[in-house]
Amino acid sequence: MIGRQVIILSRKIVRDYGWDLNVVPLIGGVSGERLLKLLTVQNIDLVIDVGANQGQYANQLFELGYTGKVLSFEPLSLAYQKLQTASRAYPSWEVAERCAVGDIDDEIEINVSRNSFSSSILPIQPTHTNLAPDSEYIGTEKVKIVRLDTVLPKYFRQAKAPFLKIDVQGFDEQVLAGASAILPQIKGLQLELSLVELYKGEKLFQEMLAKAFDLGFELHNLFPEFTDEKTGRLMQADAVFFRPGL
């Protein structure tokens, strides 16, 4: 992935010329190809895309050759509109109603970041905003929040090998807690794991890794996601898990 600091610098340069640069996180390149290989080998036929933002993840999967179905969830109003537009390009891509995903069925307030994809229900830490100024919060939105146990069963009727991708900026533990009933049916799992606290109260790499192991998954690959370019320290990584013997 392109380092976020490079993105910020590039955006600043083009703004100096009166333009704007809108760069969003992708799974392309080597990481995307390896992820697709993992999904293909495991015969994944449904990707549950929690924290879809504008649809970057699913769009890249389809462009790389994924042939299964995708179900996307996104809470932010502007990102949701763009997600709906992007999904129309692929008949196998469905977008759920606009909502956050967690461990309750209720209503909740989400913090909106300047760059959109760093938005989170959790408070953001200075460690994050110092490294990526565009991740600062600029507002909030009140949204519906649902448990996957409540909304997913109807989508599992024809899925033989569902894969759950969670990209919710530190809220992964709550998403898993709200999916306890359906998790035994999940064949693969992708989590965004922080090595340092970027969002207040988030569970860090070691604890979430242990959580995935306790749920019966094995680690199959790690993709670096957010690095401090000044020190070379890895801050976040995407971890991909599958159940053993599949």
Residue 121 carries which side chain, given as an amino acid letter? I
CB atoms within 10 A of CB 149: 16
Beta-carbon count within 10 A of 63 CB: 14
- The predicted structure's pLDDT at residue 5: 42
pLDDT value of residue 245 = 77
Q: Which pLDDT does position 156 carry in this prediction?
A: 87
Measure the CA–CA gap between 134 and 123, rounded to whole angstroms.
Answer: 15
In this predicted structure, what is the pLDDT of residue 216? 97
Tokens of 101: 């995903």
List per-residue pLDDT tens for the chain, 246 residues long: 334 443 444 444 434 444 444 443 446 445 889 999 999 999 999 999 999 999 999 999 999 999 999 999 999 999 999 999 999 999 999 999 999 999 999 999 999 999 999 999 999 999 999 999 999 999 999 999 999 999 999 888 889 999 999 999 999 999 999 999 999 999 999 999 999 999 999 999 999 999 999 999 999 999 998 999 999 999 999 999 999 975
Instruction: Return the structure tokens found at 7.
Output: 């993105």
pLDDT at 149: 98
Q: What is the pLDDT of residue 212?
A: 98
Please name the amino acid found at residue 178. G
Of 145, 225, 241, 156, nearest to 193 (Cα)?
Answer: 225
What pLDDT, on the 0 to 100 scale, is given for residue 129?
96
- Residues with Cβ within 8 Å of 234's Cβ and at least 6 positions away in sequence, in order, are 195, 224, 226, 227, 228
Which residues touch 85 (CB under 8 Å, ≥6 apart)?
none
Contact between residue 75 and residue 141 where contact means Cβ atoms under 8 Å apart = yes
Q: Which domains are present in the chain?
A: 4-242 (3.40.50.150)
Please tell me the predicted confidence (pLDDT) of residue 182: 96
Instruction: Give this prediction's pTM.
Output: 0.88
Q: Where are the beta strands (DSSP E) in 132-217?
A: 137-146, 162-166, 188-194
